[in-house]
């Protein structure tokens, strides 16, 4: 069955660079970013894992645990981490799953079905660049999928987490290119009277487009 927004992120047990984990126990009541990369010792992936590691304080600030995955072995991951740290001004401390039997990749539908070059030496598909943003209740709140050839912007993933976490606290949505501190959109589920109580001074630009300053 396909995983959708609102689905429970399926639990799994796996070997990682930080030891064996049970996914739900690992994240407990934190948020989690479960993300796959195609292959160790490849250039785009090296820059991506370095970028994730350099953002460690930002993940922590948002109560997010990050966990990577590829179908490579633990030995490969450990060797590659040395290269990432050496070349990317990074200190990789988050776990990376060694999913050599593709169990987790299959469970989360991460395998590449369209790029004939994104395969291992046996011609078996590698993973694409999947991102699952999972909330404190293990609910999948966002899914982002990039092809092997395109490195992700992890600041964008932080921005999505910011939007989701703010939306959980306040009845708002966030507009295009929004960042923390910018005006937000009053949620459509509120009528104007309810909006006025929650957001005094909110602006009605059109009946369906109402904004209010960033709510703290």
Question: Which of 17, 34, 38, 165: binder of ligand BEZ (CB under 6 A)?
Answer: 38
First to last CA, the chain: 39
Task: Name the residue nearer to ligand BEZ (CB basis): 145 or 149.
Answer: 149
When asked if residue 45 is in the footprint of ligand BEZ (CB under 6 A), the reply is yes
Site string for ligand BEZ, 148-187 (x = CB under 6 A): xx--------------------------------------
CA 29 to chain centre: 16
Length of the chain: 216
Measured distance CA(178)–CA(166) in Å, rounded: 12
**Residue 128 CB, nearest distance to ligand BEZ (Å)?**
9
* Three-state DSSP class for residue 197: helix
Please name every residue paired with 173 in a beta bridge, in sequence order, or none if there are none: 185
Active site residue 1: no
Phi, psi (rounded to 5 degrees) for 193: -65, -45
Q: What character string, x for contact with ligand BEZ (CB under 6 A) and - otherwise, covers 103-122?
A: ---------------x----
Catalytic residues: 45
Which residues form the interface with ligand BEZ (CB under 6 A)? Answer: 38-39, 42-45, 118, 148-149
């Amino acid at each position: 069955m396909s995983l959708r927004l609102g689905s429970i992120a399926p639990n799994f047990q796996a070997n990682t660079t930080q030891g064996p984990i049970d996914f739900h126990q690992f994240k407990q009541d934190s948020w989690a970013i479960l993300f796959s990369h195609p292959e160790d010792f490849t250039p785009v992936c090296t820059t991506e894992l370095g970028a994730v590691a350099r953002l460690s304080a930002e993940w922590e600030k948002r109560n997010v645990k990050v966990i990577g995955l590829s179908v490579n072995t633990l030995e490969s991951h450990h060797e590659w981490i040395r290269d990432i740290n050496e070349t990317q001004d990074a200190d990789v401390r988050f776990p990376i799953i060694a999913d050599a039997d593709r169990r987790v990749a299959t469970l989360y539908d991460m395998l590449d079905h369209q790029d004939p070059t994104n395969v291992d030496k046996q011609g078996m598909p590698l993973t694409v660049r999947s991102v699952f943003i999972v909330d404190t209740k293990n609910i999948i709140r966002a899914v982002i999928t990039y092809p092997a050839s395109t490195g992700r912007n992890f600041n964008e993933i932080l921005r999505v987490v910011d939007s989701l976490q703010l939306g959980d606290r306040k009845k708002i949505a966030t507009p295009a290119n929004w960042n923390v501190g910018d005006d937000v959109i009053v949620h459509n589920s509120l009528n104007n009277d309810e909006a006025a109580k929650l957001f005094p001074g909110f602006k009605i630009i059109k009946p369906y487009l109402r904004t209010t300053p960033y709510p703290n």
